[in-house]
């Protein structure tokens, strides 16, 4: 039945093209790695999840990257997953949570990475996010990753060097993944701190200050990081209360929660600092606008003197002071220049020019 539904879905779904098509040809099941661990050691040989069976003292770790519906239906049939899990894991963008469906615990974590850039602009991408879903059973753990950030192969390699931790079973993998992603949050926050420092220096520099659009772009990017960090605090607390999680791993999850608290405090602090620097920049913009208006008003006052003089003497009346005098024109020009010079000196002294 699953195969028939899979063929129908495959016929309806849009076909991949370009690099996506090549990746799908070489890895049609979206499997990154699949291995069986016994006694904290990886068993040699290739393993396919479709032929996996439960054996005492062993557990299977299946890693998937953006699987399609056909693949997830096959995985669900193999591991006895609920149909809701199939729908939830084929799409990304989920909020961090932990829930138990049947005998399987679903733990969703957000991934984040810092995007390198030379200068911050109004369109710079600072934070790239994705998500990882862990399906934890009694004899298996399935990691489903969406998005580019959060590659788990370093986690697998590191865990294979710690057999004493792998002996704890599938929940040890959940700890390792959560620990790595939370450390990524701290790394991203460190890089964002450097961006904030640069914005702060530009804001209070004597030369040209940072554009307001740069601040709003960084605020938008920080929202992505906040969506990853802040909502994870409650699920991690609930993990410590789950009876399915081995008690031997609780100190490890407590350590992850402590690191997460540090990341949350840093993100909240950066948000406050960014708001403060933004308010300072907006105040500078207001002052600059006021200075511009005063300068325009000063030059308009100076120009008004010459305008009034030429306007009056341009009326061509017969009885005008100095119109019959030999020095009338020169005297008028001298008076206009003197008045304009006096106004210029006064405005300059007042700081309007």
**CB 282 within 8 Å of CB 291:** no
Domain assignments of the chain as residue spans, ordered by start: 31-65+92-285, 289-350
> What are the structure tokens assigned to 321, written together?
């002071």
List, in sequence order, every residue forming a beta bridge with 104; answer none if it has no partner. 101
Q: What pLDDT is recorded for position 9?
A: 36
Q: How far apart are CA 297 and CA 303, in angstroms?
A: 10
CA 10 to chain centroid, in Å, comes to: 33
- How confident is the model over 117-151, as pLDDT tens digits? 877 777 778 889 999 999 999 999 999 999 989 89
Name which residue leads in pLDDT, 105 or 322. Answer: 105
Decide if pLDDT at 19 tops 60. no
**CB 129 within 8 Å of CB 147:** yes
Q: What are the CA-CA distances from residue 268 to residues 199, 219, 233, 295 (Å)?
A: 17, 12, 14, 41
Provide the 8-state DSSP code for 82.
-
Radius of gyration, alpha carbons of the chain: 34
Q: How far apart are CA 285 and CA 292, in angstroms?
A: 10
Q: Are strands 58-65 and 140-146 parallel, antiparallel or unpaired?
A: parallel
Average pLDDT, the chain: 83
Mean pLDDT score, 36-51: 89
Q: pTM for the whole thing?
A: 0.73
The CATH class of the 31-65+92-285 domain is mainly alpha
Q: Are strands 104-114 and 127-136 parallel, antiparallel or unpaired?
A: antiparallel
């Amino acid at each position: 039945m699953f195969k028939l539904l899979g063929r129908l879905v495959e016929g309806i779904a849009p076909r991949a093209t370009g690099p996506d098509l090549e990746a799908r040809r070489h890895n049609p099941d979206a499997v990154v790695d699949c291995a069986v661990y016994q006694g904290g050691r990886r068993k040699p040989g290739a393993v396919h999840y479709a032929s996996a069976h439960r054996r005492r003292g062993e557990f299977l770790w299946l890693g998937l990257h953006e699987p399609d519906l056909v693949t997830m239906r096959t995985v669900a049939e193999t591991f006895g997953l609920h149909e809701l899990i199939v729908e939830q894991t084929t799409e990304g963008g989920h909020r961090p949570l932990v829930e138990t469906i049947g005998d399987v615990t679903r733990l969703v974590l957000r991934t984040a990475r810092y995007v390198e850039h030379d200068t911050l602009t109004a369109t710079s991408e600072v934070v790239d996010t994705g998500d990882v879903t862990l399906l934890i059973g009694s004899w298996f753990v399935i990691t489903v990753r969406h998005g580019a950030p959060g590659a788990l192969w370093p986690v697998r390699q590191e865990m294979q060097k710690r057999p004493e931790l792998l002996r704890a079973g599938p929940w040890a993998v959940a700890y390792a993944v959560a620990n790595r992603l939370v450390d990524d949050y701290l790394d991203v926050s460190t890089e964002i701190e450097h961006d904030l420092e640069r914005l702060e220096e530009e804001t209070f520099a004597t030369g040209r200050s940072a554009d307001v659009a740069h601040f709003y772009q960084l605020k938008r990017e920080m929202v992505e990081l906040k969506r990853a960090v802040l909502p994870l605090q409650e699920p991690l607390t609930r993990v410590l209360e789950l009876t399915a999680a081995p008690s031997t791993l609780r100190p490890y999850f407590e350590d992850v929660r402590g690191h997460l608290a540090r990341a949350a405090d840093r993100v909240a602090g950066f948000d406050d600092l960014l708001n403060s620097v933004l308010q300072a920049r907006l105040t500078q913009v207001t002052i600059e606008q006021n200075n511009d208006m005063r300068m325009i008003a000063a030059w308009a006052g100076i120009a008004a003197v010459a305008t009034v003089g030429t306007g009056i003497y341009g009326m061509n009346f017969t009885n005008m002071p100095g119109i019959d005098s030999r020095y009338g024109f020169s005297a008028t020009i001298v008076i206009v220049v003197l008045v304009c010079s006096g106004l210029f000196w006064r405005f300059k002294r007042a700081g309007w020019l």
